[in-house]
Structure 1
């Protein structure tokens, strides 16, 4: 089935949904679609139902009685029965949804499913019972039921552990943000430098461009500063409060002060558990739960240090949260008055470069290495993270921005590449020498097979002629903005 013309990207998601919804095999099936708000989940599912004549219902925050009345009204409009459908329990509703698929495969979507479960906690168990393997109502139906939700912690538990629906779903589809290349196309940004700047602020959430700021993108690099103040830091813009709403939308994030402090600690450069604990003023073991909740909510991700297996680094997944905590939160009372955005942004530009843009560029370089560097590295990396390695002779440690590890076909895993990332500085021979020293230390450590490790320099500011000559001799790989967005 052809994707609708007004749908940008989402080829993989659309193909998965169409394949699930058009499955001609007998017996009703169940699927789960999840993702943070404003990623286009509802748009995808509503388009699917429109194209295939399916039933789409978006739940609201309401009591059980009102929710039953609302879905009864929606089913009455869809089925056009002789008398209005007025259900008194969810078992009846689920059986009606199964009857929709008696004649053909039909997508049936319940959007914002967590709202229904909040008022009716037994609903997942009711669906489980309705989907019993030999139950006649299921066997005789080809309803393709899709449950969708934005509360990531809730949706993550829906099919896990001892949850009632575990083992019942034949589709579990996450709808994530656009990757940085697709985001640049979506925003209409042809200048890679400007694309990185914009992505470091708003990431790849589609609705930030369409619904939130109504296609207001910076025209060029010279317009970026003004765009920040008018589209992101102005109280008149819907984006102004968006970072705060991201926390409020997750039901599991009850202690907002603690979670904000944890996010602020990470945004301030404290990626290790100990550094976060010291910043927040808690013991390390007391942060296990809030960090796990933030990870389940899709707001934080954890990475294992490439050279210290017992060290975990935490990074904020949503760029807007990093920007908010680094630039906006320290001056929130002044920003609320709507008069100081330009002055605050001028003051915060250096902090933006160090705490937001630099780490974000490193993240894009790791992403490129993981997904687009197979030919460059000679193999497909299975893991790309940062790392820290000790240098006892010089009594120091070296931070490695990019460490690409390949698959271990018996024996040690191959270290495909180590790399250094720099946003604002032209890279030269001294950077290459540091990478050579790091590689020497890696070989001494013996953790990886480092005989064919490539040395990589990533820079947005360019490379010296000396470094380019080293590249011509095969001593280093140079990756600039053209390669990242090529």
Structure 2
């Protein structure tokens, strides 16, 4: 197979450079054998948009499956394949076995020809009605690891649990994939650029706390309806997310219902509501919904597999962890919309939102701001850490003398190796709607002292205050005087 210059990412594909580079490398790798790639990601992330652009750049065959019976799906696949090869008559496959065999036959080696890129989108729809498909593909992949082939097959889908299961445990395709790509939401900085609000960090942070980094929400759902300033945010929210006439109004419900492994949606909404209300431990969630901890293991695992919930370990306490909702729109729905659903359906968005300011700050914007700060430290804020980055997370430091627990919103801990102790490089507190003062800094300093007393290395530990609204003059003066304190506001987060 001949090499050719790699096509650049098309200008209409926003961001996604790492994803494009991975897909492009897969599509043109000059191996004489068949290759398989798995592309997944929740709905609305732009997977189809990205893969269609890839097929346009590299040529090849794209098929987007739909919810249909096995017979209709096979007929649709045959028609698309006939159109791709330029057949004047439609194909007719008796079984998926015939269809898969024919598809791989198109990638037979030909002198001077590049690899054949094939994309099967929404693969879970096909696998649901034809569960033998993964085994059929495995057979062809294995065959063309011995015989030569130009096949570069990408299977894509939005049902995260199904796509993850393709390569898991004893699944037929386990060990066969050369690419496993998850298309995730835009980070908070990229999302601000995408929405065109990067010049207003306060607006960008509020917007991201509600709609996150999902590309489809701006253009397909809202037709580029974007607030122009922080002052316009309330009106925008009431006419979009909180309006029963808006596609975003029921989107959080649809996101949950679309996951294949979720049957009892009421139970899953209760679990998510518990987390949104601040019950972030397994015991707290179980107590909130009136179940035993063992009874919620399956819902927690399914939500985790679906990338709607994430379990984050406490960096200071082994065996302790907390759950966090990863999709901002779902968190907003559970915290603000679901408790007032009947009123919102009757058109009382303005009144509901006016009464939700405290709940929004405490249950939505505050926790989201903490997650943004951790993302900042992982990315452009790495300069806050003078040495190796280590593990970025959150945790609790127990102050037994004062009989209290100090919550650390942002922490960087480097595990010890050999005979060396674990090192704490950063301790941070994040406040969305509070002007931070000396008391916040003193709490961080006390936590550092306690960790040092436990044998952790804190000699290079920086203390960082993150605030969405600013810092007191006394704190600014003290930070300027000391060399171990950093103040990070919205301008720095988006700078």
Q: Which TM bucket (shorter chain)?
A: over 0.9
Corresponding residue of 2:19: 13
For residues 249-271 of structure 1, the C-alpha deviation after alignment (integer angstroms, 9 at most, x for no partner) is 00101111110000000000111
Unaligned runs of 5+ in 1: none
For residues 221-255 of structure 1, the C-alpha deviation after alignment (integer angstroms, 9 at most, x for no partner) is 11000011001010111000000001110010111
Corresponding residue of 2:393: 385
For residues 454-481 of structure 1, the C-alpha deviation after alignment (integer angstroms, 9 at most, x for no partner) is 1111112212232223222213111111
Inter-partner Cα distance in structure 2 for 1:403 and 1:263: 25
Inter-partner Cα distance in structure 2 for 1:83 and 1:435: 73
Corresponding residue of 1:275: 284
Inter-partner Cα distance in structure 1 for 2:392 and 2:296: 25
SS of 1:373's partner is helix
Q: Kindly indicate whether residue 138 of structure 2 is the aligned counterpart of residue 128 of structure 1.
A: yes
For residues 415-471 of structure 1, the C-alpha deviation after alignment (integer angstroms, 9 at most, x for no partner) is 11111111122212221111111111111222x322221111111221223222322
Q: Kindly indicate whether residue 323 of structure 2 is the aligned counterpart of residue 314 of structure 1.
A: yes
Alignment check: 8 A CA contact 2:384 2:462 kept: no
- What's the CA shift for 1:57? 0.3
Inter-partner Cα distance in structure 2 for 1:436 and 1:51: 55
Inter-partner Cα distance in structure 2 for 1:463 and 1:67: 60
TM-score calculated relative to the size of structure 1: 0.97
Inter-partner Cα distance in structure 1 for 2:29 and 2:99: 23
Inter-partner Cα distance in structure 2 for 1:397 and 1:18: 49
Residues 22 and 145 (structure 1 numbering): CA distance in 2 closer, same or farther, change over 3 Å? same
Corresponding residue of 1:65: 71
For residues 325-384 of structure 1, the C-alpha deviation after alignment (integer angstroms, 9 at most, x for no partner) is 1111011112112x2010000011111011111111111011111223322211242322
SS of 1:232's partner is coil
Corresponding residue of 2:178: 170
Corresponding residue of 1:412: 421
Inter-partner Cα distance in structure 2 for 1:221 and 1:14: 34
Alignment check: 8 A CA contact 2:280 2:324 kept: yes
SS of 1:393's partner is coil
Alignment check: 8 A CA contact 2:461 2:484 kept: no
Alignment check: 8 A CA contact 1:374 1:380 kept: no
Q: Kindly indicate whether residue 440 of structure 2 is the aligned counterpart of residue 425 of structure 1.
A: no
Inter-partner Cα distance in structure 1 for 2:144 and 2:60: 25
Q: Kindly indicate whether residue 270 of structure 2 is the aligned counterpart of residue 264 of structure 1.
A: no
Inter-partner Cα distance in structure 2 for 1:374 and 1:6: 30
Corresponding residue of 1:109: 119
Residues 186 and 135 (structure 1 numbering): CA distance in 2 closer, same or farther, change over 3 Å? closer
Inter-partner Cα distance in structure 1 for 2:342 and 2:421: 54
- What's the CA shift for 1:4? 1.1
Q: Kindly indicate whether residue 244 of structure 2 is the aligned counterpart of residue 238 of structure 1.
A: no
Alignment check: 8 A CA contact 1:370 1:383 kept: no
- What's the CA shift for 1:413? 2.3
SS of 1:222's partner is helix
SS of 1:145's partner is strand
How many pairs were matched up? 482
Corresponding residue of 1:348: 356
Inter-partner Cα distance in structure 2 for 1:126 and 1:30: 13
Residues 134 and 346 (structure 1 numbering): CA distance in 2 closer, same or farther, change over 3 Å? closer
1:39-50 pair list within 5 angstroms: 39-50=45-56
Inter-partner Cα distance in structure 1 for 2:69 and 2:388: 51
Inter-partner Cα distance in structure 2 for 1:343 and 1:134: 63
Q: Kindly indicate whether residue 216 of structure 2 is the aligned counterpart of residue 210 of structure 1.
A: no
SS of 1:171's partner is strand
Unaligned runs of 5+ in 2: 1-6
SS of 2:379's partner is helix
Segments of 4+ in structure 1 off by > 6 A? none
Alignment check: 8 A CA contact 1:212 1:238 kept: yes
Give the stretch that moved more between structures: 374-383 or 60-69: 374-383
Inter-partner Cα distance in structure 1 for 2:252 and 2:387: 38
Residue 375 (structure 2) aligned to one of 367, 370, 380 = 367
Give the stretch that moved more between structures: 197-206 or 381-390: 381-390
For residues 369-413 of structure 1, the C-alpha deviation after alignment (integer angstroms, 9 at most, x for no partner) is 122332221124232222112111111111111111125443222
Alignment check: 8 A CA contact 1:48 1:54 kept: no
Corresponding residue of 2:4: none
- What's the CA shift for 1:134? 5.5
Give the stretch that moved more between structures: 87-96 or 356-365: 87-96
Alignment check: 8 A CA contact 2:34 2:144 kept: no
Corresponding residue of 1:304: 313
SS of 1:61's partner is coil
For residues 301-322 of structure 1, the C-alpha deviation after alignment (integer angstroms, 9 at most, x for no partner) is 0111122112110000000011
Q: Kindly indicate whether residue 219 of structure 2 is the aligned counterpart of residue 184 of structure 1.
A: no
SS of 2:370's partner is helix
TM-score calculated relative to the size of structure 2: 0.95
